[in-house]
Amino acid sequence: MAMYVQEVGPAGAPTIVLLHGGGVGGWMWRDTMAALSEIHLLVPDMPEHGKSQDMGAFSIAGTARLVADLIAERTHGGKAFVAGLSLGAQVTVALLGSHPDVVLGAFASGTLVRPVAGVGLVNAMIPLYMPMRNARWLVRANMKTLEIPDEFESDVARETAALTTASYRRITVENVAFRVPLGLGSVTCPVLITVGEREMKVMKESAHDLAAAITSARAFMVTGHGHNWPVQDPGLYAQAVRAWVTNGPLPDMLRPL
| pTM recorded for the entire structure | 0.96
Domains and CATH numbers, the chain: 5-114+179-256 (3.40.50.1820)
- CA 118 to mean position of chain CA atoms: 22
Measured CA to CA, the distance from residue 180 to residue 176 in angstroms comes to 12
Half-sphere exposure of 251 (CA within 13 A, CB side): 16
Q: In what order do the strands lie in the sheet with 217-222?
A: 5-8, 40-44, 15-19, 80-85, 103-109, 191-196, 217-222, 254-256
Residue 101 is predicted with a pLDDT of 95
- Entry field: residues in the chain: 257
Q: In this structure, which amino acid lies at residue 234?
A: P
Instruction: Tell me the pLDDT tens digit for each residue of 85-108.
Output: 999 999 999 999 999 999 999 999
Contacts of 22 (CB under 8 A, 6+ apart): 49, 86, 87, 171, 172, 175
Measured CA to CA, the distance from residue 93 to residue 233 in angstroms comes to 23
Secondary structure letter of residue 23 according to DSSP: T
| Average pLDDT of span 190-214 | 97
Residue 64 is predicted with a pLDDT of 98
Nearest alpha carbon to residue 231 among 28, 44, 33: 28
Helix (H) or strand (E) holding 143, with range, is helix 136-146
Is-contact 42 16, C-beta < 8 A? yes
Residue 43, strand partner residues: 6
Is-contact 237 32, C-beta < 8 A? yes
Q: What is the mean pLDDT of the chain?
A: 95
| pLDDT over threshold 90, residue 139 | yes
Q: How confident is the model at residue 118 (pLDDT cuts 50, 70, 90)?
A: confident
Is-contact 107 241, C-beta < 8 A? yes
Measured CA to CA, the distance from residue 195 to residue 228 in angstroms comes to 9
